[in-house]
Amino acid sequence: MTSSCLTERESHGAPELSADAPRPSATNGPDTVNHSQRETLSASPEPATSEPGPSGAPEADASQVRRRVNGTIIDFWGHPVPNVRLALAGAETTSNAEGAFAFADVPELYDISLSVRIAGDSTEVYGYRFVGLTRRDPLLQIFKGLPQRTAPLQISVTGVEGQEGLVGEIALGGQHGQRSYALSANAAESAGWRGPSTHESPIRFLLWETSPDDRRIPGTFLSYQRSTLSLTDAVPAYLDVAVSGPLAPLPAIRINTTTERAPGESHIASSYLRFEAGPAIGLSQLPRSSSDNAPFETVAPMLDDASVTVAAISGNGTNESPFSVVYANRLDAATSATLVFGETSELLAPADQANSVGKEDEFTWTDTGDTYIVAFEDLEVYQTVYVITAQPKTSIPDLESLGIYYPHGGTYRWSVESHGPARSVDELCSPPGYLDPFSADFNYPMGPRLGAGRFWRTAGRLFTFQ
């Protein structure tokens, strides 16, 4: 029998609720489910209306209805983002409390721009331009839109002292953010999330003994616990994990996975448990050569609230090198997965370290047939502008009407990434959102999206704006 206890200690008057993880830096954020409490406001502007209909309410002309755009803005986690400034064909509006917005008299093919400012120790500024839309109900997903929340977290683990070969991981998070913590007897950590100042966060704890043949992979799973933790912004929280014996093995499954067309000289074969509640636990990460086509085996516990993800990762996620990941999810013992690295883009122009680049200059890259997210990151302030397009070229968007400027002489980094199989911006702007689970943290999948997919990003190039 496995006997264990995961408890929350009183957190010095902190009432209830909350936990999860922030996105990393400007080239992305982290990353489509459940919303915090919100009020309902009407989006603006309203279209012109005709005479009242039978119900007494004004009826919109049919052509105006067809030309109207009613959209919604959400962040990586699926939260609606209010107070976002938007511009479309010379008209401007602001998203309401539910992240909704509306434009009247919109042409069949249109671009839409927006800007987000997030107050904090340093104000974060993000601009977006979605290029070549036709749909009348776009779901515009952005990496970040809500304030960053942080709480000091003290983790205590008892019952595993002096036992060799034991590995454990704590996954904390849900619909507002996620983070994982390695097993440690007493650790001072922090919990981060975006959204409400307080919320209840799911917690999952898994303990295993490493394989006697390879200490880098699990051998026998010994304890699984689940609970919740109340977190409040800036208020210390305490988590106690108690493991008591004797420990008996948990049922496990084994999945064989092969990789094909791996770029570069090596890649990492990784496996994870992804929980329906949100967080993920990393099981193994094994370096492999590009010529190694032998299947790698994933060992995972059989849990009713979790699924297995296997992934092949090339690159380390830094701005100086390209990154690519392909993965499959919801696997079981009857599944044999094949992960195929697809084609990725290479930047063409401008060259690295280019000077005197302006808004009229064209940025180009090799075409893979994907849709692309192009990032222009200001290296001197917290400002990044993204262009979402289906074309292998773009230019720096003019967003001055939305309060975004590019200082002359400023240094910028640009890169290109792709978030899956969508072939049009219309397809990207459909539910549940386009941001890939690996785009928030290149080593861990997170967020509400499950399933198979691929994500890649080019190495960055620098330029000076004039």
DSSP assignment of 133-152: E--SS-EEE-S--S-EEEEE
Q: Would you write out the chain's pLDDT as a tens digit for each of its 466 residues?
A: 334 456 554 333 322 223 333 333 434 443 332 323 222 223 333 333 333 333 333 455 555 556 999 999 999 999 999 999 999 999 999 999 999 999 999 999 999 999 999 987 789 999 999 999 999 999 999 999 999 999 999 999 998 877 778 899 999 988 899 999 988 767 899 999 999 999 999 999 999 999 988 888 999 999 999 999 999 999 999 999 999 877 889 999 998 898 887 777 789 999 999 987 677 899 999 998 877 777 888 899 999 989 999 999 999 888 889 999 999 988 877 778 899 998 999 999 999 999 999 999 999 999 999 999 999 999 999 999 999 999 999 999 999 999 999 999 999 999 999 998 899 999 999 999 999 999 988 888 998 888 899 999 999 999 999 8
Decide if 217 is inside a domain.
yes
- 237 and 24 Cβ atoms separated by less than 8 Å: no
Decide if 78 is inside a domain.
yes
Same structural domain for residues 101 and 17?
A: no
The helix (run of H) or strand (run of E) holding residue 428 is: helix 425-428
User: Please, what's the b/e burial string for 412-426 (b: 16 or more CB within 10 A of its CB; e: otherwise)?
Assistant: bbbbbbbbbebeebb
Cα–Cα nearest to 347, from 415, 423, 395? 415
What is the Cα–Cα distance from 14 to 237, expressed in whole angstroms? 8
Same structural domain for residues 409 and 363?
A: yes
What is the Cα–Cα distance from 30 to 317, expressed in whole angstroms? 13
Decide if 297 is inside a domain.
yes
Same structural domain for residues 113 and 212?
A: no
In this predicted structure, what is the pLDDT of residue 373?
Answer: 98
Pull the structure tokens for residue 343: 């084609």
Same structural domain for residues 310 and 332?
A: yes
CA distances from 230 to 125, 198, 243 (A): 30, 7, 21
Same structural domain for residues 327 and 383?
A: no
CA distances from 58 to 67, 149, 212, 220, 318 (A): 17, 44, 74, 67, 55
Same structural domain for residues 130 and 236?
A: no
Residues with Cβ within 8 Å of residue 163, at least 6 apart in sequence:
none
Q: Is residue 238 classed as helix, strand or coil in its secondary structure?
A: strand
Q: Is residue 20 classed as helix, strand or coil in its secondary structure?
A: coil
Strand ranges (E), 75-174: 85-88, 91-94, 100-103, 110-118, 124-133, 139-141, 148-158, 166-174
Decide if 36 is inside a domain.
no
In this predicted structure, what is the pLDDT of residue 271?
Answer: 94
Same structural domain for residues 307 and 195?
A: yes
- Number of folded domains in the chain? 2
Same structural domain for residues 194 and 333?
A: yes
In this predicted structure, what is the pLDDT of residue 20?
Answer: 35
Residue 35 CB: number of other CB atoms within 10 A? 14
Decide if 55 is inside a domain.
no
Decide if 253 is inside a domain.
yes
Final residue belonging to a domain, choices 290, 323, 340: 340
Residues with Cβ within 8 Å of residue 376, at least 6 apart in sequence:
384, 385, 386, 387, 396, 412, 413, 414
What is the Cα–Cα distance from 330 to 452, expressed in whole angstroms? 8
Decide if 177 is inside a domain.
yes
Decide if 56 is inside a domain.
no
Same structural domain for residues 127 and 180?
A: no
Same structural domain for residues 290 and 368?
A: no
Pull the structure tokens for residue 163: 């036992």
* C-alpha angle 377-91-43 in degrees, rounded to nearest 5: 95
The helix (run of H) or strand (run of E) holding residue 287 is: strand 280-289
Final residue belonging to a domain, choices 313, 340, 367: 340
Q: Residue 384 is part of a domain; what is its CATH number?
A: 2.60.40.1120
In this predicted structure, what is the pLDDT of residue 163?
Answer: 77
Same structural domain for residues 207 and 125?
A: no
Same structural domain for residues 158 and 107?
A: no
* Domain that residue 110 falls in: 64-142+344-466
DSSP state of 363: E
Final residue belonging to a domain, choices 305, 340, 375: 340
What is the Cα–Cα distance from 18 to 124, expressed in whole angstroms? 23
Pull the structure tokens for residue 273: 């448990």
Using left for φ > 0, alpha for ψ between -120 and 50, and beta otherwise, residue 420 falls in left
Long-range interactions of 349-353: CB distance < 8 A, separation 24+:
350/461, 350/463, 351/461, 352/461, 352/462, 352/463, 353/461, 353/462, 353/463
What is the Cα–Cα distance from 372 to 388, expressed in whole angstroms? 6
